[in-house]
Amino acid sequence: MPVLVMKFGGTSVATLDRIRRAAKRVGVEVAKGYDVIVIVSAMSGKTNELVGWVNETSPLYDAREYDAVVSSGENVTAGLMALTLQEMDVPARSWQGWQVPVRTTSAHSAARIEEIPTDNILTKFAEGMKVAVVAGFQGVSPEGRITTLGRGGSDTTAVAFAAAFDAERCDIYTDVDGVYTTDPRVSAKARKLDRIAFEEMLELASLGAKVLQTRSVELAMRYKVKLRVLSSFEEQSDDAGTLVCDEEDIMESNVVAGVAFSRDEAKMTLVSVADRPGIAASIFTALSDGGVNVDMIVQNISEEGRTDMTWSCPTDQVVRAQKAVAEAKAQGAINFHEVIADTDVAKVSVVGIGMRSHTGVAAKMFQVLSAEGINIKVITTSEIKISVLIDRKYMELAVQALHDAFELEKAA
Ligand code: ASP
Ligand code: MG
């Protein structure tokens, strides 16, 4: 029997009634002849509550116990989904991660899946079971402890199962009906895309579009898993939602596929650092050792042997970054006059594989921002993406203007 993976996110299993509706969708696929692996998230809000309880109990918690607590939301929905299916006369049972087992690294709260043996579940399918319901987001470390895959990790569980079982498709059921050209809450002209390339989705996911966990897109791209994002809130046809697929499977792509943004960016500058070989290495080693995720980097032209070094990082890492550079300065590893943090910035990016073959996208983007009187603070580019840092108060305006200028309302 062909295998299908269906993943239901937190809002799709938020109540018993919603679980029933999701189970009905599963029943439809079983009736088509699939053996189905269902991956479930915790009921929406549950994981946040569990994280809150851990923090309240123990601010400097033992990460192994954090995972033991935080993984439990998925155990509840996996059991309830299996029971619901049984009530519908669909042969089903649940699996927690360790029972499969989903073998992961020991990096608690951010573990990576290393191996998913298929024999256990395949044996049950051979015996006539139709649906394996697996708790998403969790696994087991080589030490035998429960691990979790990072927030949003059930997407990654789903894709990893699809790869391991060579599934025909991996359907991600969520509360939106697909991937949009931008967030419809920011631009009313946002359009749902029928298809998007893995690489574009990867950029959009890491740039702040929250539909899929970035890691799940990486995995899907590596193992060529056909990934579909669709809504569990509406009746769905066979071609509903957005298919995330290979570039070759997209007939005619737009130059720009989407506009992404992220509100919680900060811009930090070390003023007047000595411009000598090794200085960037020292600064960014200190930041990386301090656990700061640096995104954009700009070094100014130096004057009289001194220069300014600017980078962006998540707003909630500013304090860590300040501490890291202050310590490096105290140890004599780096020298600077002052460190400036600007936390009122946002990052806006345009993404599209068409940029590889079309020139002028950057020029157009900058013209659009200039016409709106928006000053650009930092720019970075990759082959298929251009990102700018701007004042946060202009973020919505920039997204709307870029969406209009690249005519994304005509996208499909
Ligand atoms: N329940 C977990 C979270 O909220 C994992 C997931 O839903 O993907 O992050
Ligand atoms: Mg999610």
pLDDT per residue of the chain (412 residues) written in tens, 0 to 9: 899 999 999 999 999 999 999 999 999 999 999 999 999 999 999 999 999 999 999 988 999 999 999 999 999 999 999 999 999 999 999 999 999 999 999 999 999 999 999 999 999 999 999 999 999 999 999 999 999 999 999 999 999 999 999 999 999 999 888 999 999 889 999 999 999 999 999 998 877 677 899 999 999 999 999 999 999 887 767 678 999 999 888 877 678 999 999 988 999 999 999 999 999 999 999 999 999 999 999 998 888 999 999 999 999 999 999 999 999 999 999 999 999 999 999 999 999 999 998 889 999 999 999 999 999 999 999 999 999 999 999 999 999 999 999 999 988 6
Q: What pLDDT sits at residue 60?
A: 87
Q: How many Cβ atoms sit within 10 Å of the Cβ of residue 117?
A: 12
Distance (angstroms) between ligand 2 centre and the Cα of 8 equals: 9
Distance, CA of 186 to CA of 170 (rounded, Å)? 29
Question: Cα-Cα-Cα-Cα dihedral of 246, 250, 252, 253, to 10°?
Answer: -50
**Ligand 2 mean position to 211 CA, how many Å?**
6
**Which of 200, 251, 258 lies closest to 227, judged by CA?**
200
Question: Is the CB of 306 inside a 6 Å radius of any atom of ligand 1?
Answer: no
Closest CA to 251 of 409, 403, 412: 412
Query: What 3-state DSSP class applies to 179?
Result: coil
pLDDT score recorded for residue 247: 86
At residue 405, the pLDDT reads: 96
Of residues 146, 54, 44, 151, the one with CA closest to residue 100 = 146
* Interval between CA 269 and ligand 1 midpoint (Å): 35
- In the block, tokens 């979790």 appear at 148
Test site for ligand 1: of 44, 50, 81, 137, most ligand atoms within 8 A of the Cβ: 137
Ligand 1 site, residue 173, Cβ cutoff 6 A: no
Reading phi first (left if > 0) and then psi (alpha if -120 to 50, else beta), residue 150 is in left
Q: Which two tokens stand for residue 300?
A: 């100014």
Q: How far apart are CA 409 and CA 191, in angstroms?
A: 6
Task: Answer yes or no: is the C-beta of 97 below 6 A from any ligand 1 atom.
Answer: no
DSSP at 282 = H
* Distance in angstroms (rounded) separating the CA atoms of residues 40 and 154: 7
Residue 387 in contact with ligand 1 by CB distance below 6 A = no
Ligand 1 center from residue 6 Cα (angstroms)? 15
CB distance 148 to ligand 1 below 6 Å: no
Q: Tokens 């769905």 map to which residue?
A: 236
> Ligand 1 pocket, 42 CB below 6 A?
yes
| Cα-only R_g, the chain | 23
How far does the centroid of ligand 1 lie from the alpha carbon of residue 372, in Å? 38
Q: How far is the CA of 9 from the centre of ligand 2 (A)?
A: 6
Ligand 1 atom at minimal distance to the Cα of residue 48? 4
Q: Are 213 and 153 in contact (CB under 8 A)?
A: yes
Rounded Cα–Cα distance for residues 265 and 243 (Å)? 30
Ligand nearest to the CA of 110: 1
Q: Is 138 a pocket residue for ligand 1 (Cβ < 6 Å)? A: no
Residue 39 CB–ligand 1 contact under 6 Å: no
Which of 13, 41, 67 is the best mutation target for the ligand 1 pocket, counting ligand atoms within 8 Å of the beta carbon and taking the most?
Answer: 41
Q: How far is the CA of 151 from the centre of ligand 1 (A)?
A: 5
Largest CA distance in the chain: 79
Give the nearest ligand 1 atom to 151 CA: 9
- Ligand 1, pocket-test mutation among 38, 54, 109, 151, most atoms within 8 A of CB: 151
Q: Which residue's alpha carbon is nearest to atom 6 within ligand 1?
A: 152
Q: Give the pLDDT confidence score for residue 388 in this predicted structure.
A: 96
**Atom 9 of ligand 1: nearest residue by CA position:** 151
Can you tell me the distance from the alpha carbon of 412 to that of 408, in angstroms, rounded to the nearest whole number? 9
Counting ligands in written order, the one closest to the CA of 40 is 1
Q: 56-65 contacts: CB < 8 A, separation 24 or more?
A: 63/108, 63/109, 64/108, 64/145, 64/146
Establish whether residue 352 lines the binding site of ligand 1, counting it when its CB lies within 6 angstroms of any ligand atom: no
* Residue 226 burial (C-beta neighbours within 10 Å; 0-12, 13-18, 19+): middle
User: How far is the centre of ligand 2, averaged over its atoms, from the C-alpha of 130 (Å)?
Assistant: 25
CA dihedral of residues 218, 154, 209, 20 (deg, nearest 10): 140
